[in-house]
Structures are given as structure tokens and as C-alpha cells.
Amino acid sequence: MKYRKKPIEIEAFRWTGDIDQAEDPEWMIASLKSGESKIGKSTGSKGETYPVVRIKTLEGTMMAVPGDYIIKGVHGEIYPCKPDIFMATYDTGEIGDVSDGYHTFNELYRYRILYNALAFNALRGEPGAMPHKSRFHSDGEPCFGGGWFIVVAYLDGKQISNHYEEKDWDLFQIEERIRADEWDGHTPEDVAERIEAYLKR
């Protein structure tokens, strides 16, 4: 049997050896004040000394050295983690950086924009497609309050649309309108079905 580890969210910071704890989160400071964690020194194989944090855990006392990550787990437990293990196990928590092993969400979203721009630009010569873009919806309201625009086109008389940030405006070399056509109530699923039907005709 194969199992997949459930995604969990943790808090963590990389300890720099800061004795004054100026860079430490509140939960680490609380652990130091309670005595569950203690800052001290250790001696290397060549007699050199360096700061360490000794942390009481369920598995016993564990030690972190400068550069190690210190983690607060889902149950409030605190423990150290070596940088290579941390980077292989956790990401930053930014959804755009999450990867399926091949592409991140940010990469896939960028591909989506570029493919969509390519398709809308190609529809300029398609009878009845009427691709256009606008910074305003049909009621005159700015898209998402401003800083966004909408692209609209028709496939076999059925509307498709998407919103994008202002920075991608010039990718869409299509008619610019003061107001976009009125939304026909389509959902993302409708758009997918309309595109697929158009491609299969």
C-alpha cells in the first residue's frame, strides 16, 4: 500500500545564532522563558565554540545550531530541523509556489494567460467571434474595483471570458471597448465545455 502525507501548515524560522532573540518569533521567546528551550554553547571538534539552542521534545532534548530551522508543529510542539531536510519537506506556504512535480501554480497560471492571449488574438479573424477587452464591465463598474480587465469572445455564438491584471493588457491585441459585453451568466465549467465543443466541431 502507498500512502500520501496529509498537507499541514507549520510555523518556522531560521535561527541565526541571535542571542538577543531579536529575530525570534513570540512562541520561541515563550519557550526560552519557560525553560523548555535554552540557549547555550557547544564545542566543535577543533575546540571552537558556537551558540546552540537545546530544545526539550517528546523524543528528548534536541539541539539547533545557527542556520538550522526551528519549527512549531500543529500541536504547538517545537523542534529543530536541518536546512536540507526542511527545504525538501516544506514550502513557503505561498500557493503559487506549490508544484505538482513539474510546474508551479505560478507557472501554470502564466501559461494560461499566454495561451489565452494567443487564442483571443487568433480569433480576430473569426466571423462572429468579436474578441474584445475592457477595463469596465457592461454596467460601467471597473473590473474588480480597478487594476484588472476582462476579455470576451464568442465561440459559435456562445460567450467566453476571463479577467486579467492590468500588467497583461498589451498581450491581448484585440478590440478595446469602453465597456465589455454583458455577461451571459456562464461559469468556468461552461467556458471549458464551450471551448471543447468548438475544438471538436
Q: What is the pLDDT of residue 167?
A: 93
The answer to whether the CB of 56 falls within 8 A of the CB of 64 is: no
98 pLDDT more than 70: no
What is the reported pTM? 0.55
**Cα dihedral angle (166, 172, 174, 177), rounded to 10 degrees?**
-10
Query: Which contiguous run of DSSP H or E holds residue 153?
Result: strand 148-155
90 pLDDT more than 90: no
